[in-house]
Homo-oligomer: A and B are copies of this chain.
Amino acid sequence: MALTDRLKRGFVGRPIGSDRLGETLLPKRVALPVFASDALSSVSYASEEILLVLALGGITLLHYTPWIAAAVVILMLTVVASYRQNVHAYPSGGGDYEVASVNLGPRAGLMVGSALLVDYVLTVAVSVSAGVANLTSAATGLAEHKVLLASLLVVLLTLVNLRGVRESGTAFAVPSYAFIVGVLVMIVTGLVKTALGDAPRAESADYHIHPEQSFTGLFLIFLILRAFASGCTALTGVEAISNGVPAFRRPKSRNAATTLFLMGAIAVTMFAGVTALALISDVHVAENPADLIGSNGEEQRTVIAQIAAAVFGDGSPGFVYVAAVTTLILILAANTAFNGFPVLGSILARDGYLPRQLHTRGDRLAYSNGIILLAGFAILLIVVFDAQVTALIQLYILGVFISFTLSQTGMVRHWARLLRGSVAADTDTDAGATGAGAAAGASAGSGDSGEKLDDQLTGRVPLEPRMRGRVRRYQVVSFLGACMTGAVLILVLLTKFTRGAWIVCIAIPVIYLCMQGIQRHYDRVASELTPEPGPPTLPSRVHGVVLVSKMHAPTLRALAYAKATRPHTLVATTVAVDPAETERLRQAWEERDIKIDLVVLASPYREVTRPVLEYVARIRRESPRDVVAVFVPEYVVGRWWEHLLHNQSALRLKARLLFQPGVMMTSVPWQLESSSHAQTRRDHAGAGAVRRGRVLPSEQVRPGNGSGT
């Protein structure tokens, strides 16, 4: 086995057969940490973001915090409720992209796709950078290597994810639960202490905040709205589960909905608890540390760290535990994107918006190309923005709120059509969502009331009358969600545009246009490749041309094979780059008594390719309906350095001949002994590199998906 293969096996693991795909599906207890780490980790900075913005108006504005936090909680609960319906109605993993495509048209879908692709990349960049920032503020010696460290962490995540979904789920389950437990214990301890009259007190409780300016009237309202917009970072990651439904164990939709509920409940509890403790312990933070009057001028610690210090005591085991798991969950939050991006990319590729390679599962059944692409872009962002969270966070959440808004608007239409009974027309779109998999599911858990419900919600079976009220309720929830997230989207645009969000406002349309261009290309190719009806027609005549450079064994083999194909005419041609060599060839031709004519082509500029191309073109001009069959004798060497020792003229000639219409090109290889090295090496390499095709049963089958040979 070659070294590269060994390395790959070591890092990625042994290949897994397509039939084992079911085994990599996730139980709820693993799916929760895999898909929710992003949403949960945002708890660690959402409260802080609200406090930071309000602090601009001075300490007195902090009393607005509970109201803003409450608004965020309401928004979050609405969105979670709304998405619990999404996973039932659209269980294929297309998530928001599919909802928008089906209900609002392909342009809206593409818009959502572009926005989500951008946001996934930002999720990785922001989360990893935030984690590294936390780490380096503890271990200051590493601060100058922030960019390198963040990039290495992205590479590590990439390797873990290339091993496949389930194993990365296991790897991330422990830290996620550790974080949840840590924060919940901290909240309970803090609240109990408060109830007992021993309220925790933050190190910054006595600091005064110097207001940047005084906010009144409209300015005050704008500031409060901006604080709310910043707090909405808590919502990021809610959509992850709806995009990840196919990775759940059956019954997929119900499990996903339950996980979504669990995630929402935990996130809201943690967000509310942390915000409450921040107010109880009087945590004071400011964007510009110099505005903190009374502080010793040192770097201010994060809100969650200050609360942990206040509750457990600075430097206590409890504090260290919370600080450590917070750092860890921030880095792991990036993993959510590693689960979401490749699946979305594969669906976009399936629909012809992205290169087909993104629709290829690797050795371990993960969408390897998508994972690598995500990692590449995330590292690019980390390098460009120097791993600075403050800069990156301004680009963030724009994409996800575009997605929220369009998706829920789409759901309003979905429910409306369901009530009208006109969703059935779309079943071909969702067919793949169950397809072969649904057949298996039906035999296993048929008669299950949940499945029946799902069938009605997706529109596969007509809506029962008693369900209409329920669907109306769903529609109201979706409508509320759409309005609220739409409002937040506008808010985010207004408050963050000049701070960096403009980059995203350029990136999303650019990606949109690229994907549109790619789709047009695929469409054009598909229509050009559509065959005329009827059986294949034979070419009228075949002219055989054997390319000869000198008289050696491959040449003789090519001549023999060319003769065996019985073309209508057959000649051998050689390019006269060296008169002496040509003469020797002519002599050898006579000596061996070869009955095929040898045509000598002149080459004043010592070229090999052009005279052959011109000769072939001449034959074609003379008889345009005939076919020219070019036979290229070549010998094959096995070791990489041996390739350097042989002119690659044959390779280049073949590449150029491909562009000549009506030319068939036959390689007549002659394997030198050393080629057996390469052959052996490849035989031992295990399951090889060229893979293709879709094996996920729940994916959709469409005529446009074919291979690109």
Write 22 A-B pairs (CB below 8 A) sorted by A numbering.
Answer: A19-B604, A522-B645, A531-B552, A531-B553, A535-B592, A536-B557, A547-B709, A549-B709, A554-B709, A564-B627, A565-B567, A577-B692, A578-B695, A605-B691, A606-B695, A608-B691, A610-B687, A645-B708, A647-B707, A652-B690, A659-B679, A664-B669
Evaluate contact between B550 and A536: CB separation under 8 angstroms: no
Chain B residues whose C-beta falls within 8 Å of the C-beta of A664 in the assembled complex: 561, 666-669
Q: Cβ of A452 < 8 Å from any Cβ of B?
A: no
Task: Give 1 or 0 for each of A574-587: 1 = CB within 8 Å of chain B CB.
Answer: 00011111001000
Q: Cβ of A507 < 8 Å from any Cβ of B?
A: no
Looking at the complex, which one of B561, B703, B709 makes contact with A634 (CB distance below 8 Å)?
A: B709
Which B residue's beta carbon lies closest to that of A18? B606
Task: Give 1 or 0 for each of A641-677: 1 = CB within 8 Å of chain B CB.
Answer: 0101111011011101011110111111111110100
Evaluate contact between B607 and A707: CB separation under 8 angstroms: no
Knowing A355-B645, A636-B658, A645-B356, the reply to whether A672 touches B554 (Cβ < 8 A) is no
Return A551 CB to nearest CB of chain B, in Å.
7
Q: Cβ of A539 < 8 Å from any Cβ of B?
A: yes
Q: Cβ of A538 < 8 Å from any Cβ of B?
A: yes
Q: Cβ of A528 < 8 Å from any Cβ of B?
A: yes
Knowing A609-B690, A656-B682, the reply to whether A529 touches B542 (Cβ < 8 A) is no
Q: Cβ of A556 < 8 Å from any Cβ of B?
A: yes
Chain B residues whose C-beta falls within 8 Å of the C-beta of A577 in the assembled complex: 691-693, 695
Once bound together, how far apart are the Cα atoms of A123 and B402, in whole Å?
Answer: 65
Interface size class, chain A = 35 or more
Chain B residues whose C-beta falls within 8 Å of the C-beta of A690 in the assembled complex: 607-609, 647, 649, 652-653
Q: A18-B604, A528-B553 are in contact. List 12 more A-B contacts (CB 8 A).
A: A360-B647, A363-B605, A528-B672, A538-B563, A542-B565, A547-B709, A550-B707, A577-B695, A607-B687, A609-B688, A647-B708, A665-B666
Evaluate contact between A667 and B658: CB separation under 8 angstroms: yes
Once bound together, how far apart are the Cα atoms of A649 and B694, in whole Å?
Answer: 15
Evaluate contact between A552 and B530: CB separation under 8 angstroms: yes
Q: Cβ of A484 < 8 Å from any Cβ of B?
A: no
Q: Cβ of A205 < 8 Å from any Cβ of B?
A: no
Evaluate contact between A17 and B605: CB separation under 8 angstroms: yes
Evaluate contact between A659 and B646: CB separation under 8 angstroms: no
Return A618 CB to nearest CB of chain B, in Å.
14
Chain B residues whose C-beta falls within 8 Å of the C-beta of A557 in the assembled complex: 536
Chain B residues whose C-beta falls within 8 Å of the C-beta of A553 in the assembled complex: 528-532
Looking at the complex, which one of B552, B592, B692 makes contact with A649 (CB distance below 8 Å)?
A: B692
Chain B residues whose C-beta falls within 8 Å of the C-beta of A709 in the assembled complex: 547, 549, 554, 632-635, 646-647, 649-650
Chain B residues whose C-beta falls within 8 Å of the C-beta of A525 in the assembled complex: 635, 637, 672
Chain B residues whose C-beta falls within 8 Å of the C-beta of A565 in the assembled complex: 542, 565-567, 629
Evaluate contact between A693 and B658: CB separation under 8 angstroms: no
Chain B residues whose C-beta falls within 8 Å of the C-beta of A555 in the assembled complex: 531
Q: Cβ of A391 < 8 Å from any Cβ of B?
A: no
Once bound together, how far apart are the Cα atoms of A632 and B555, in whole Å?
Answer: 22
Once bound together, how far apart are the Cα atoms of A614 and B372, in whole Å?
Answer: 30
Q: Which 8 A-B pairs have the closest CB atoms?
A: A577-B693, A646-B708, A536-B560, A529-B552, A565-B565, A549-B707, A647-B708, A578-B693
